[in-house]
Amino acid sequence: MKPTRVLIIGGGFGGVYTAITLEKHLKANDNVEVGLISKENYLVFQPMLPEVISGSIGILDTIAPIRRLCPKTNLYTREVESIDLKNKRVMTSAGFRPQTSQLEYDHLVIAVGNITSFSAQRGLAEHALPFKYLGDGLVLRNHVIRALEEADIESDSEFRRALLTFVVAGGGFSGVEAVAELNDFVRHAARSFRRINRAEIRVILLHAGPLILPELSENLGQFAQKLLQRRGVEIRLNTRLAGATGESALLDNGERVLTKTLVSTVPSAPNPLVASLPCKKEKGRIVVNKHLEVVDYPGVWAVGDCAWVVDHKTWQPCPPTAQHATRQAACLAKNLIASLRQEPKQAFSFEALGKLAALGHRSAVAEVFGVKLSGFVAWLLWRTIYLMKLPGLDRKLRVSTDWFLDLLLPPDIVQLKLDKTTSVIREHFEPHEIIFRQGDRGDRLYVIVEGEVELFQEGPDQVPHLLGRLGPGECFGEMALVNDKPRMATARSIARTNLLSVDQHAFGALFAYHPPLRRMFEALIDERRRSTAR
Amino acid sequence: MKPTRVLIIGGGFGGVYTAITLEKHLKANDNVEVGLISKENYLVFQPMLPEVISGSIGILDTIAPIRRLCPKTNLYTREVESIDLKNKRVMTSAGFRPQTSQLEYDHLVIAVGNITSFSAQRGLAEHALPFKYLGDGLVLRNHVIRALEEADIESDSEFRRALLTFVVAGGGFSGVEAVAELNDFVRHAARSFRRINRAEIRVILLHAGPLILPELSENLGQFAQKLLQRRGVEIRLNTRLAGATGESALLDNGERVLTKTLVSTVPSAPNPLVASLPCKKEKGRIVVNKHLEVVDYPGVWAVGDCAWVVDHKTWQPCPPTAQHATRQAACLAKNLIASLRQEPKQAFSFEALGKLAALGHRSAVAEVFGVKLSGFVAWLLWRTIYLMKLPGLDRKLRVSTDWFLDLLLPPDIVQLKLDKTTSVIREHFEPHEIIFRQGDRGDRLYVIVEGEVELFQEGPDQVPHLLGRLGPGECFGEMALVNDKPRMATARSIARTNLLSVDQHAFGALFAYHPPLRRMFEALIDERRRSTAR
């Protein structure tokens, strides 16, 4: 007899704990085959992610290999491209070979979570660092060390201050935990940089409301706020991030904070996969019944941040937390098995046990079973609880060791250059910003997506002459790439401008080997030369 | 009084140990300012690099922050662009801002090492994985895990075998140590992949000579060879790597080994910075006198792999090893101080203490003070010596802990997707290789750099019709990118072909926002459509 195929989509808490619970309760004579599709082959333990910034937990120790957590599940390390509820199949992305593949199911569990989306504010997608996935933690850590490295040898004092200013937007749980770790790390690490004046370091937390940590009760929020301020974090309350450029964070009061490091933890948006589904949704999340079944689609289930789960007892929608996702997953898995065995299903209800926020350097705030704690005791509780929750014995051992060594050793300041600079990137400029200066090294070609740019040249008389204005679809900066000479003009944005830029390497390769493209740019350069000469 | 400026170029053993020794022996009244330019802000401890592949040492633990090793030295984390011996200055690359900077010196120490260069063999630069820097170790580790992930869900048996074949070229020290760790890791990690048949795993070592480890005496080489073979490594003696494609390793006997993982440890070439210097060279290395001063350039010194150092006692040139580099650095630093104080300098001489090669899984071979050891005793010696040599107490503690945990825990199989796929890459094809197939997902546009490509289409009659042949400068594959439809034809190389390919993301962005480019491709696509319709 063909086995019943259960397919889970998503490698977060919801998906992985569904697989774990299924493995635990399924018996051989249920004849069920479980598959799980996940973009990564590991589960990220989010609560410990901020400690990746400071390096107090080893990079790999906050993540657990999914294969070890649910060894009887077939893991597909793939991205999901589309879900076909009608024909009961899921299309996944290509691997080494450029071919998509298709997986069929009898039962489908949707646990795809939500995504980070910066699209609402200008310049954020281009210039803000997100903080949600493991990769984000690593990128941020290396970016911060790079900023310190640059500040150490920078002679221009304004630019050095921008390098030493670190801005975190969002005063909820993840923002507060991130700023606490970032602040501890930057101030401690800076001691190893002999030309950095530590008084120049600024760490700023932007928060839209009147008090940080709105998830907790007021006095805990106040405790956290005072503690962070005492440690040197500037907290800007009732202030929102309105946008960003390569050089600054733009606040909603019109102020511009010069910085090279802007972290934004706020925006999360519905997963496009969920948006594409025909089923009923509430605030972008999939509506499920009390058994966690998707309404009108028998055999389809949803769990975690992508699901709209109403608590059976309180009639309140569940918040998107790991606590809820794991409990929902356990309930879902049992109901799924019950439906296969035609047994009665249970309704989902769960009261959160507590909330904890780490504040770095042996301090935390906690609200557990109605008891409020702060400081060292809360920190001990934080570490105990999360160490218990961390999946896998090997990770528990590794993290305990990390914490022990962290007591003895200074923070790590090695900068891993992991991210190859991608050849084509987008950049955002506010009006009247310099894109490049005459005399700079020419390392990129720019195409205007929207906005307007003016080019001017300073002659020997030091008077700038306007060379021209360019609009959408036009390109500039190609001359320095072809000649390998410094920029012959300065480019400045007139309006708010979005640019696409291509680096020297990609441009050079294409230019050299694709004659039509070369001819196109040669014609363009000729034209520019003639208009400059005039 | 202005201090004497000593500038060291290079953050390897030679450069860093020069700085360390200078700091140790310089006194305040010498009035010397030491600067060090290094591409990375850490020193890589090469001997432990192979263990990064298996994850038995944490990623960051084999590297030590240079700032902590020589805290009184000004570190410039920069690449060197050029050295101007005449005007005594060094130009460094740009940081966040596109401006180069210039450093002046009174004494210059050149310690830039050599570089990996795959240019001699076709396809290697495009498709082989190097193994020299920390980044290489990480990339290799993640690539191997990705290959296992893909093999686990691959249904095509030929392609699965290619995914499970791992080839290492070069049977010297670094090749043998790499293949030993790789073999241990792959075979152990595969246990967590439920659909991988471990009998299908092949790990192959290519070696040009008749016996591996030619640096050691014959019986140790034989011991190592037998041990590796017993653990499942296929050793191909008297066999060289002749080239590579995306799908295979090409051997010098004409054989093609299908593989997706080819590691090459062999090629090292003189650093282009050294090549650009006007001073006297021998085999691409800078000739220095017995005091390690560069001949004809007073105040310029050279050390390590980039220097041609002749031992004062044996009259033999020094081999490019860390042992020699650190001793040379100590001698150089003392001579530099002696020359400042106008004291007599010492001549360099050093006899290597021994050679050790780790073979993974508690075995090694060693030749120390003339004594030959193999197996477990040699392995203990290996670990003891290298732990002692590892710079920095904190690293010693971290690596000891790693080794202890490694005894208890299974190898880590999380795959970090660190490398963003770069938008423009080069690919090599041998004659008659498929570049893409009709029906594949169209994810790249190709430009022919050299060679020839034919395109053919299979009609409903399943007979392939030739659409055309293309040569250098022409491009193909643009249609699927514009339409977002599967490939409408199959592309195959006729001759040896080098291609440049641009990914969908970069192409789409440029195509959408740069009208001249869009018009160019629209014209091209129109022409293709007409010729296909005919």
Length of chain A: 534
* Of A150, A169, A136, nearest in space to A257 by CA: A169
> Which residues of B are less than 8 Å from A75 in CB distance?
149, 152
3-state secondary structure of B354: strand
Question: Tokens 């290489």 identify what position?
Answer: B136
CB atoms near residue A20 (< 10 Å): 21
* Of B86, B417, B497, B241, nearest in space to A38 by CA: B417
> Which residues of B are less than 8 Å from A416 in CB distance?
59-60, 134-135, 138
What is the token pair recorded at A128? 């803000």
- Given an 8 Å threshold on Cβ–Cβ distance, is A515 in contact with B193? no
Residue in B with minimal Cα distance to A519: B520
Interface test with B, best of A36, A513, A517, A520 (most B CBs within 10 A): A513
* Tens-digit pLDDT string for chain A (534 aa): 899 999 999 999 999 999 999 999 999 999 999 999 999 999 999 888 898 888 888 878 888 999 999 999 999 999 999 999 999 999 998 877 777 789 999 999 999 998 888 877 889 988 999 888 888 888 899 899 999 999 999 989 999 999 999 999 999 998 999 999 999 999 999 999 999 999 999 999 999 999 999 989 999 999 999 999 999 999 999 999 999 999 999 999 999 999 999 999 867 888 999 999 999 999 999 999 999 999 999 999 999 999 999 999 999 999 888 899 999 999 999 999 999 999 999 999 998 888 899 998 889 999 988 899 999 999 999 999 999 999 888 889 989 998 988 888 888 888 877 655 567 888 999 999 999 999 888 888 898 989 999 999 988 888 889 999 999 988 898 887 777 788 889 999 999 999 988 888 788 777 777 787 778 777 877 777 776 654
Distance CA B426, CA B38 (A): 28
- Given an 8 Å threshold on Cβ–Cβ distance, is B441 in contact with A98? yes
- Given an 8 Å threshold on Cβ–Cβ distance, is A397 in contact with B408? yes
Dump strand ranges (E) for A292-331. Answer: 300-302, 307-308
Average pLDDT over residues B418-446: 83
Q: Distance (Å) from the C-alpha of residue B423 to the closest C-alpha of chain A?
A: 6
In sequence order, what are the residues at sequence separation of 6 or more whose Cβ sits closer than 8 angstroms to the Cβ of residue A143?
Answer: A129, A261
What is the token pair recorded at B348? 């360099």
Residue A219, pLDDT score: 94
Dump strand ranges (E) for B55-134. Answer: 63-65, 74-77, 80-84, 89-92, 101-104, 107-110, 114-116, 129-130
* DSSP secondary structure letter of residue A122: B
- Given an 8 Å threshold on Cβ–Cβ distance, is B423 in contact with A94? no
Nearest-by-Cβ selection for A423 from B150, B414, B422: B422
Distance CA A111, CA A302 (A): 6
CA angle at B323 for the pair B317 and B325, rounded to the nearest 5°:
65
> Which residues of A are less than 8 Å from B443 in CB distance?
94, 98
Residue in A with minimal Cα distance to B67: A192
> Which residues of A are less than 8 Å from B440 in CB distance?
97-99
| DSSP of A38-105 | ESSSEEE-GGGTHHHHHTSS-GGGGEEEHHHHSTTSEEEE--EEEEETTTTEEEE---SSS--EEEE-
Q: Distance (Å) from the C-alpha of residue B518 to the closest C-alpha of chain A?
A: 10
Q: For residue range B181-192, list pLDDT tens digits in order.
A: 999 999 999 999
Give the burial string for A1-17 (b: 16+ CB within 10 Å, else e): eeebbbbbbbbbbbbbb
Q: Is the ipTM of this complex over 0.85?
A: yes
Residue B435, pLDDT score: 93
- Given an 8 Å threshold on Cβ–Cβ distance, is B420 in contact with A420? yes
Residue A281, pLDDT score: 95
**Domains of chain B, start order:** 4-39+78-116+269-341 (3.50.50.60), 124-266+355-408 (3.50.50.100), 424-533 (2.60.120.10)
Give the type of residue at A15.
G
Residue in A with minimal Cα distance to B475: A514
- Given an 8 Å threshold on Cβ–Cβ distance, is A502 in contact with B510? yes
| DSSP of B400-411 | HHHHHHHHHSPP
Residue B419, pLDDT score: 56
The full 3-state SS of A154-176, as one line of letters, equals CCCHHHHHHHCEEEEECCCHHHH
Distance CA B231, CA B166 (A): 14
Question: Tokens 């990705």 identify what position?
Answer: B146
Q: Distance (Å) from the C-alpha of residue B302 to the closest C-alpha of chain A?
A: 25
Average pLDDT over residues B102-120: 91
Q: Determine which of A505-514, B28-37, B68-77, B230-239 has the lowest per-residue pLDDT on average.
A: A505-514
> Which residues of B are less than 8 Å from A509 in CB distance?
424, 426, 500
Interface test with A, best of B416, B436, B485, B498 (most A CBs within 10 A): B416
> Which residues of A are less than 8 Å from B514 in CB distance?
447, 473, 475, 500
* Of B59, B207, B189, B208, nearest in space to B136 by CA: B59
Distance CA B379, CA B385 (A): 10
- Given an 8 Å threshold on Cβ–Cβ distance, is A473 in contact with B78? no
3-state secondary structure of B186: helix
Q: Give pairs for A342-347: CB < 8 Å, separation 24+.
A: A345/A291, A346/A291, A347/A290, A347/A291, A347/A312
> Which residues of B are less than 8 Å from A96 in CB distance?
146, 150, 163, 260
Distance CA B454, CA B495 (A): 10
Q: Return the sign of the alpha-carbon dihedral for residues A194, A197, A200, A205.
A: positive
Nearest-by-Cβ selection for B447 from A77, A195, A513: A513
- Given an 8 Å threshold on Cβ–Cβ distance, is B60 in contact with A417? no
Q: Distance (Å) from the C-alpha of residue B35 to the closest C-alpha of chain A?
A: 11
Q: For residue range B55-104, list pLDDT tens digits in order.
A: 888 878 888 999 999 999 999 999 999 999 999 999 998 877 777 789 99
Q: Give pairs for A24-32: CB < 8 Å, separation 24+.
A: A25/A333, A25/A334, A25/A337, A26/A337, A30/A4, A30/A337, A30/A340, A30/A341, A31/A1, A31/A3, A31/A4, A32/A3, A32/A4, A32/A5, A32/A6, A32/A340
Residue in B with minimal Cα distance to A509: B500
* Of B383, B364, B385, B384, nearest in space to B373 by CA: B364
What is chain B's mean pLDDT, rounded? 90
- Given an 8 Å threshold on Cβ–Cβ distance, is B413 in contact with A41? yes
Give me the numbers of helices (H) and strands (E) for chain B, helices first please.
15, 34
- Given an 8 Å threshold on Cβ–Cβ distance, is B424 in contact with A423? yes
